[in-house]
Amino acid sequence: MSDDTIRLSKRMTELGLCSRREADEFIEQGLVKVDGVVVDVLGSRVRPEQRIELEARALNEQAERVTLLLHKPVGYVSGAAEMSGERPAWQLIKADTLSPADRSGYTFLRKHQLHLAAAGRLDVDASGLLVLTQDGRVSRKLLSGDCEQEFLVWIDRPLDDAGLAALKTGVNSDGDKLTALRVSRQSDSQLCFVLREVQRRHIQRMCAAAGLQVKAVRRIRIGRVRLGELQQGQWRYLLDSEKF
C-alpha cells in the first residue's frame, strides 16, 4: 500500500469506534470489516477513505459495557492501588452504595464491577466526581484533554485581585507550567477552577505559588456531566442521554 495508509486499529480509534485495545481485540475476533471484507490480522493498514464497520457482536459487547459516576471521598486513589494501605475507588462500587437517585434502569450485576478504568485523575486528597468505565471510547474521550473539568477549592485566606490575576495567568511549579482555563472567586474562602488537562496536585501547586493553602478540593463537573446531588461514597450509572 502507499504511504497514505494507517494502522487499522489507530484509524478505528480516530473514528471513535472504540479504544485501541478494543480495536485489537475486535480485529483478532474477526469482528471488523473494511469495505465489506472481514479483516482479522493485527497490524493491517487502511486508507483514510475506506469504510470501516463493526460486526453486530462487537456493537452488542460495547452496549453491555457500563460507565459509572462515583462521588469519590478523600482517602481513595482513583486508579489501582500502588502502595500498601491505599484504597482504590472502585471498591466503593457495590449494591449498597448505589445512589437511591439512580434513574438508569440498570440492575446492578457483579460484572459491572469488573474491568473498570478511572477516566481521569483525581488526587487522593480530593473528593468529587470520578468516572469509572468499561468503555474504551469513554476513556479515550476523557483522557484526550478535550473536556473541561470544574473544581471547587476551599482556601485558608481571602485572595486579593492581584493574586487572582496571577492564577489566571498561570504559574511555574517544579518545572511545570500550570494553567487554568478560568479561575473565579466564589467567596473569601472558596475559588472555582476550570481546567482541561489536570496534572498531579495541579490546583494545590497553583495555589501554593500564590501563597495559599488548600483546605479541600472537590470536582463538580466533567464536560457536560455534573456531580449534582450524588452523596460522598455513592455512585450511579451514566444515563444514555448524558454526554461528556
What is the domain-level CATH number for residue 133? 3.30.70.580
- 88 with 197, same domain? no
Total domain count for the chain?
3
What is the domain-level CATH number for residue 206? 3.30.70.1560
- 133 with 197, same domain? no
Residue 1 lies in a domain: no
- 207 with 98, same domain? no
- 117 with 233, same domain? yes
Residue 7 CB neighbours (<10 A): 16
Q: What is the C-alpha radius of gyration for the chain, rounded to an integer number of angstroms?
A: 21
Residue 38 CB neighbours (<10 A): 12
Question: Is the Cβ–Cβ distance between 210 and 171 less than 8 Å?
Answer: yes
Tens digit of pLDDT per residue, the chain (244 long)? Answer: 457 899 999 998 888 788 788 889 899 999 999 999 999 999 999 999 999 999 888 887 777 789 999 999 999 999 876 666 789 999 999 999 999 999 999 999 888 998 899 998 899 999 999 999 998 888 888 988 889 999 999 999 999 999 999 999 998 888 889 999 999 999 999 999 999 989 889 999 999 999 999 999 999 999 999 999 999 999 999 998 999 9
Alpha helices, DSSP H, located in 76-219: 136-143, 161-169, 202-209
Distance between CA atoms of 127 and 190, rounded to whole angstroms? Answer: 15
Beta-strand pair 67-72/127-133:
antiparallel
Domain that holds residue 119: 67-142+229-237
- 57 with 77, same domain? no
Question: Is the Cβ–Cβ distance between 72 and 222 less than 8 Å?
Answer: no
Beta-strand pair 76-77/87-88:
parallel
